[in-house]
Structure 1
């Protein structure tokens, strides 16, 4: 699943907003809470634990987080209902602002139709990107 949005803010500001992983509204509609487990030398979260709830299920999962000047990558490392999960953000300078693209992959261990999972992921991504846009442009 891949979604993009144009944001009237510089790349550095957009990445700063995306990197605020303690504020789950910025990156996951299904996230009910996040705990920062570790921080890197730059002070940004490098490992987080997230409580997720969607389509009747609730679970926790741990993620490793890596950064560049224009990307944030969140990769699942431990989760009971989530087998594979990666969320990548890429911010590229575009005109008077930034084009932010979110790409995500998720495989779950519960019987959910693929179309339902994809629809939920797409809806979550759009909400996420709108939230980043609002905060970055403020």
Structure 2
């Protein structure tokens, strides 16, 4: 999947705090509107999640899917967290990432996402859906970290 949608936000917190919120998958139902359940299925030796199952209910879109995670982050929280779809009922593929970098006194978070659904969808509509997902996720993350 070469075509990805990308957006960024600056969060008023250091990268370690931001990554801590992103990495705390079990708490996603507390602060994300669409994620209803989360289960970490596998962990790396250092305790970070390697495979996570999500139950999503975004009104018209409902799915249970699992993602495989790769961590290329430093002790300070900077770097990149990437994921790839493992299983889904609705999606054929989903590749994504969060990139965290210092920005002034805060953190620039860049979210990239590419989704391929099992049902046909025009590229323009797919990119619009990806943009909505990204913008909502970044807004919710910023609110959670800064609250």
**TM-score normalised according to structure 2 size:** 0.80
**8 Å Cα contact 2:85-2:93 kept in structure 1:** yes
How far residue 75 of structure 1 moved from its aligned partner, in angstroms, is 1.2
Change in 2 beyond 3 A, CA 1:104/1:27:
farther
- Structure 2 counterpart SS, 1:22: helix
Match of 1:10 among 7, 14, 29: 14
Aligned length in residues: 138
Deviates more, 1:118-127 or 1:101-110: 118-127
- Does residue 125 of structure 1 match 2:134? yes
**8 Å Cα contact 1:27-1:125 kept in structure 2:** no
Change in 2 beyond 3 A, CA 1:107/1:130:
same
**8 Å Cα contact 1:30-1:124 kept in structure 2:** no
**8 Å Cα contact 2:40-2:49 kept in structure 1:** yes
Paired position in structure 2 for 1:111: 120
Match of 1:59 among 56, 63, 79: 63
How far residue 35 of structure 1 moved from its aligned partner, in angstroms, is 1.4
Structure 1 gap ranges (5+)? none
Paired position in structure 1 for 2:105: 96
- Structure 1 counterpart SS, 2:53: strand
Paired position in structure 2 for 1:43: 47
**8 Å Cα contact 1:35-1:50 kept in structure 2:** yes
Structure 2 gap ranges (5+)? none
How far residue 49 of structure 1 moved from its aligned partner, in angstroms, is 1.1
How far residue 127 of structure 1 moved from its aligned partner, in angstroms, is 1.6
**TM-score normalised according to structure 1 size:** 0.85
